[in-house]
């Protein structure tokens, strides 16, 4: 449905490109979530596809049609902004009908379509309500109905839940997923929130400095980050710089065979669940030998505890279950010495960061 090829765009006076050779494809009915830090080009991508900014180079095709030179209102694209951009002087019905009126639909058709869309987003009968009376979640629904009203070939949403509290966001992620399935429209959904990206997307695009650093199904991206940047952005903190010689990397917990013909500088991703902690004198050692570590922090996370360890110059984190009453893990306290090793199954070799 959407094909973006080698898209470049640099804003005047900017020190670096907003888009730097970006490629993206979205299939019919597919939901693609675009995830990345502020300034990575997520919103610029949407604005380029919508025709609100003109790329310096590259092509954008929608359903086989090259959009170069096509006016924004003729592109068949629905765009929902982060702040919703509702018209405060118009009621809910007039807001939803705006695109239909601009297209020239007759009043009777507009009335029918507005009622259909408000029912779809759970606001049936709200046509005459003033925008000022709407809650944050209701504003989000009205903005979504307005974007869907002209039946766009592609729906794009820019941080649509960013202004809402966490509990409402979690609830609306479920509703949006159901709505996208019901409508069947291709969707590009921009967010910096991993819960939204992984909960909604058929595929996830992680952007870095105007490029797609990784594209894949959510489970694949989570299980196998493509680079140290992606791993850090996804929240993995256990990244260890090593020098691999003949396929073996020395580490504070013992030598690690990385395989794959890797030699030279590399980054090891150590998944938290792979970090094994035992008290000194426990007497049961993993096969690749433990290293002594100091516990520097123990943080409650609601059902589990994040344990931060210092091995020489290296800091590692792991997650442990607490006691039956929610107390910290037995025998692990700040300042105590423990023995640490890493399950090789929880290691991944990344390129040098």
Q: What is the CATH number of the domain that holds 281?
A: 2.40.50.140
CA max distance for the chain? 81
pLDDT band at 345 (very low <50, low <70, confident <90, very high): confident
Question: Rounded to whole angstroms, how far apart are CA atoms 1 and 58?
Answer: 17
Ordered strands of the 291-300 beta sheet: 275-279, 337-342, 291-300, 305-311, 314-320
Average pLDDT over residues 255-277: 85
pLDDT band at 159 (very low <50, low <70, confident <90, very high): confident
Return the percent helix, strand and coil in the chain, to nearest 5.
25, 35, 40
Sign of the dihedral through C-alpha 134, 78, 203, 177? positive
Question: Rounded to whole angstroms, how far apart are CA atoms 190 and 156?
Answer: 8
What lies within 8 Å, CB to CB, of 324 at 6+ separation is: none
Give the residue from 205, 233, 261 where a domain finishes.
233
Q: What are 268-278's pLDDT values in tens digits?
A: 999 999 998 88
Instruction: Tell whether 27 and 170 lie within a shared domain.
Output: yes
Instruction: Tell whether 308 and 227 lie within a shared domain.
Output: no
Tell me, what's the pLDDT at 290? 62
Query: Residue 324 pLDDT more than 70?
Result: no
pLDDT band at 5 (very low <50, low <70, confident <90, very high): very high
Residue ranges making up the domain that contains 116: 2-233
Query: Residue 308 pLDDT more than 90?
Result: yes
Instruction: Tell whether 69 and 214 lie within a shared domain.
Output: yes
pLDDT band at 261 (very low <50, low <70, confident <90, very high): low
Give the residue from 204, 233, 262 where a domain finishes.
233
Instruction: Tell whether 171 and 280 lie within a shared domain.
Output: no
77 beta partners? 154
Give the residue from 233, 255, 274 where a domain finishes.
233
Tell me, what's the pLDDT at 216? 97
Percent of the chain with pLDDT over 90: 54
Instruction: Tell whether 263 and 223 lie within a shared domain.
Output: no
Instruction: Tell whether 196 and 128 lie within a shared domain.
Output: yes
Q: What mean pLDDT value characterizes the chain?
A: 88
CATH code of the domain covering residue 148: 3.40.50.300
Q: Are 30 and 1 in contact (CB under 8 A)?
A: yes
Q: What are 189-214's pLDDT values in tens digits?
A: 999 889 899 999 999 999 999 999 99
136-163 b/e with 16+ CB inside 10 Å = b? ebbbbbbbbbbbbbbebbbbbbbbbbee
Instruction: Tell whether 258 and 183 lie within a shared domain.
Output: no
């Amino acid at each position: 449905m959407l094909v973006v090829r080698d898209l470049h765009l640099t804003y005047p006076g900017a020190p670096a490109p907003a888009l730097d050779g970006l490629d993206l494809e979205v299939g019919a009915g597919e939901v693609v979530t675009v995830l990345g830090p502020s300034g990575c080009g997520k919103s610029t991508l949407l604005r380029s596809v919508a025709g609100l900014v003109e790329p310096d180079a590259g092509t954008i095709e929608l359903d086989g049609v090259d959009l170069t030179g096509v006016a924004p209102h003729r592109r068949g694209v629905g765009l929902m902004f982060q702040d919703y951009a509702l018209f405060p002087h118009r009621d809910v019905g007039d807001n939803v009908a705006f695109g239909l009126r601009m297209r020239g639909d007759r009043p009777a058709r507009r009335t029918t379509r507005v009622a259909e869309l408000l029912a779809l987003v759970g606001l049936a009968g709200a046509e005459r309500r003033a925008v000022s009376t709407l809650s944050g979640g209701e504003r989000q629904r009205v903005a979504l109905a307005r974007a869907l009203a002209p039946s766009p070939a592609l729906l794009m949403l820019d941080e649509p839940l960013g202004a809402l509290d966490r509990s409402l966001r979690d609830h609306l992620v479920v509703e949006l997923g159901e709505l996208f399935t019901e409508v069947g429209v291709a969707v590009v959904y921009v967010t910096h929130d991993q819960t939204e990206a992984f909960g909604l997307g058929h595929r996830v695009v992680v952007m870095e400095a105007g490029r797609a650093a990784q594209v894949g199904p959510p489970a694949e991206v989570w299980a196998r980050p493509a680079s140290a940047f992606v791993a850090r952005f996804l929240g993995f903190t256990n990244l260890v710089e090593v020098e691999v010689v003949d396929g073996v990397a020395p580490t504070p917990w013992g030598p690690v065979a990385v395989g794959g013909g890797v030699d030279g500088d590399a980054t090891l991703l150590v998944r938290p669940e792979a970090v094994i902690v035992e008290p000194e004198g426990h007497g049961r050692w993993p096969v690749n030998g433990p290293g002594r570590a100091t516990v520097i922090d123990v943080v409650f996370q609601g059902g589990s505890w994040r344990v931060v360890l210092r091995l020489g110059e290296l800091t590692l984190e792991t997650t442990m279950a607490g006691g039956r009453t929610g107390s910290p893990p037995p025998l692990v306290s700040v300042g105590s010495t423990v023995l640490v090793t890493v399950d090789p199954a929880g290691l991944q070799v990344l390129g040098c960061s």
